[in-house]
Amino acid sequence: MPDSYHHGNLRHDLIETAIRNISEHGLDSVSLREIASQCGVSHNAIYRHFSSKEAMIDQCRTYVTEELTSSLTQAVDGPDSSEDKLVRAGEAYVGFFVRHPTYFSALYRNSSYKVTVTLDEIADNYPPFEIFRRIFAQMYSQGQFTRDEAQLRLTSYWATLHGTIALTVSRNVEMPCSWKAVIKSGF
């Protein structure tokens, strides 16, 4: 351990280190002692921020979800058309995980989040998904699609986003086009 005194925002550093560990090794391999050691603090220091491993993992998911939701909300802010908002939201979604590749597998690997892919508003549905759902619901309400078309396009776009992220963050995949081109063609 380099130093038992930590400078800066320890809670943030613990979360980022835990996210990286979850992404690289999975939930079962996460160790609070190892995370504390990687952050240069004693194993007792981590308990000032998290009561348990499960609490820390939950905070990691909450942190990523809040950051992602904020990024998406900023991307769709404004009076633009639904199509423009959809492209910006798609670019923001994939771009977020391109900038933070460990977040994707940490968030979705063995995740407790439930996403119900539907045009209907559902209480407690996954907040980032809700942004996309609202855009497609608006397109449906404006008569751009039938309900069935809007539902199919929402499902397809959500799958396109996740597939694009998986391809983009993989070190072993080369794509013949940019991920932004894939996003623009995905709906």
Average pLDDT on 35-44 reads 92
Q: pLDDT tier at 7 (50, 70, 90 boundaries)?
A: low
Go through the domains of the chain in sequence order and give each one's CATH number.
1-50 (1.10.10.60), 60-185 (1.10.357.10)
Contact between 129 and 158 under an 8 Å Cβ cutoff? The reply is yes
Cβ neighbours of residue 99 closer than 8 Å, sequence gap 6 or more = none
pLDDT given at position 177: 87
Q: How far apart are CA 38 and CA 169, in angstroms?
A: 24
DSSP one-letter string for the chain: ---SS--S-HHHHHHHHHHHHHHHH-GGG--HHHHHHHTTS-TTGGGGT-SSHHHHHHHHHHHHHHHHHHHHHHHH-SS--HHHHHHHHHHHHHHHHHH-HHHHHHHHTT-------SSS--TT--HHHHHHHHHHHHHHHTTSS-HHHHHHHHHHHHHHHHHHHHHHH-TT---SS-HHHHHHH--
Residue type present at position 30 = V
pLDDT beyond 70 at 20: yes
Give the model's confidence band at 6: pLDDT under 50 very low, under 70 low, under 90 confident, else very high: low
pTM of the model: 0.86
Predicted confidence at residue 95, as pLDDT, reads 95
At 71-106, the pLDDT tens digits run 999 999 988 899 999 999 999 999 999 999 889 887
155 and 85 in contact (C-beta within 8 Å)? no
Contact of 22 with 109, CB cutoff 8 Å: yes
Calpha distance 76→71 (Å, rounded):
9
